[in-house]
Amino acid sequence: MNTQQQNPLYPIFLKLHQLEMLIVGAGEVGLEKMSFILKSSPDANITIVAPEIREEITELIQGKDNVTVIQKPFEVSDLDGKDLVIAATNIPDLNKEVQAAAKAKGLLVNVADTPALCDFYLGSIVTRGNLKVAISTNGKSPTFAKRFRQVLEATLPEDTAELLNNLKQIRDRLTGDFSEKVKQLNAITADLLK
């Protein structure tokens, strides 16, 4: 076993309120994906397509104008105008069909519980105000990612938002070129490591 193996994924933070996401499936898996996304990005633009919709999903999206539910079977035309797709049904053949259709249109797709068919993963996330930390195990152990998230949630102080706001005000007042500003901010934040 190669103990030096590196996670090749590159983390990015998407502005889901500016993108269009399609989730195919509104059962247990769809509910899990929807809950995770809306917890981290409450204003995400999401369309859900499924022949049956769990009651918990209906409750979760109540009053959310940014989420649309279309109760019908998936059709390739459901991908029109979408940027990201999540195949979250409990039917592997349907998930593969969604993935193939999305790839044919050049869309990024996540297929629940099928890492080999995914362009991206939904990692564990810790949020403290404007601080957001994403955790990935490259699909190896979502349980570890969840536990590590819990460690970070217990460790990071609740007043992190205030700290970031204060640091932004300091940064806005700094003078000099980029490297000088970095040097000054490094000196100010060095105490965080003590």
pTM for this one?
A: 0.86
**Per-residue pLDDT tens over the stretch 133-192:** 999 888 788 889 999 999 999 998 888 878 888 888 888 888 888 888 888 888 888 877
Q: What is the DSSP string of the chain?
A: --TT-----------TTTSEEEEE--SHHHHHHHHHHHHH-TT-EEEEEESS--HHHHHHTTT-TTEEEEES---GGGGTT-SEEEE--S-HHHHHHHHHHHHHTT-EEEETT-GGG-S----EEEEETTEEEEE--TTS-HHHHHHHHHHHHHHS-TTHHHHHHHHHHHHHH--S-HHHHHHHHHHHHGGGG-
Q: Which CATH architecture has domain 20-122?
A: 3-Layer(aba) Sandwich (3.40)
In the chain, domain spans? 20-122, 142-193
**Per-residue pLDDT tens over the stretch 1-12:** 555 688 888 989
